[in-house]
Amino acid sequence: MIAVIDVGNTNMTMGVYDGRTRKATFRITTKMPRSSDEYGVLITQMLLHKGIRADTLEGSIVASVVPDVMHSLMGALVRYTKTRPMNVGPGMKTGIRIITEDPRAIGADRIVDAVAAYEKYGGPVLVLDFGTATTYDLITEKGEFAAGITAPGIRISSEALWTQAAKLPEIEIRKPKSILAQETISSMQAGLVYGQIGQTEYIIRKVKEESGIRNLKVVATGGLGRLIADETDAINIYDSYLTLDGLRIVYEKNRR
């Protein structure tokens, strides 16, 4: 079995795979500073809660967009799981060729999303990840990472509303009964959710128009991706485990 960890700006998501079978998943908040021992205890206890002993892991792999946590996290994996964790970055075999102007600037999470979408669904494919940021990445039929768009995530937008506008409250992000809102909370929900749907549909349409790729599959993932995917025909597939599956695939490609 192997452990795969996606370190995002808000949460780190961990999965355990036995071959291609996903055995367990869990989340740890990223924003709280922790030592390697704290990470180690958290990880081993969460694994035990899922019926998995840390010493049964034979490998691990991490994709991170938060450099500050890496020293503690990698140390925890070495000490508490006895594995030598791979860190997704330049030089790794992925099966995806990055042809943007600055390939090293592409985040590890976007790379593993691209790997999973291309391996699972084929190309050309547009990969959407609704995380702290909302990202749109174009992978060609030949497996080339050709372009990427980055927008504020729906949660960032919502936090900007209630932190920057004194009279607006903190709200739950969900679709209201109608876009024709008649009070503050549902009006904010309508603006956030329908605004994200409109942005999503417009960007997908523009990517198809400017790339000239009409047979483009659109695959979405990320915490709030289901909310948006359920409300638009522009998204073909929602895959909640796309990033973890991508980490497993990258691990297999680089396994010695």
Q: State how far the alpha carbon of 178 is from the alpha carbons of 193, 227, 252, in Å.
A: 11, 15, 46
Question: Does the active-site annotation cover 233?
Answer: no
Residues in CB range of 238: below 8 A, 6 or more apart: 219, 220, 221, 225, 226, 229, 230
Residues 6, 68, 109, 129: which is the catalytic one? Answer: 109
Terminal Cα-to-Cα distance of the chain (whole angstroms) = 15
**Residues 160 and 166: beta-carbon distance below 8 Å:** no
Facing residues of 145 across strands? Answer: 98, 139
CB atoms within 10 A of CB 208: 18
The residues that are catalytic are 109
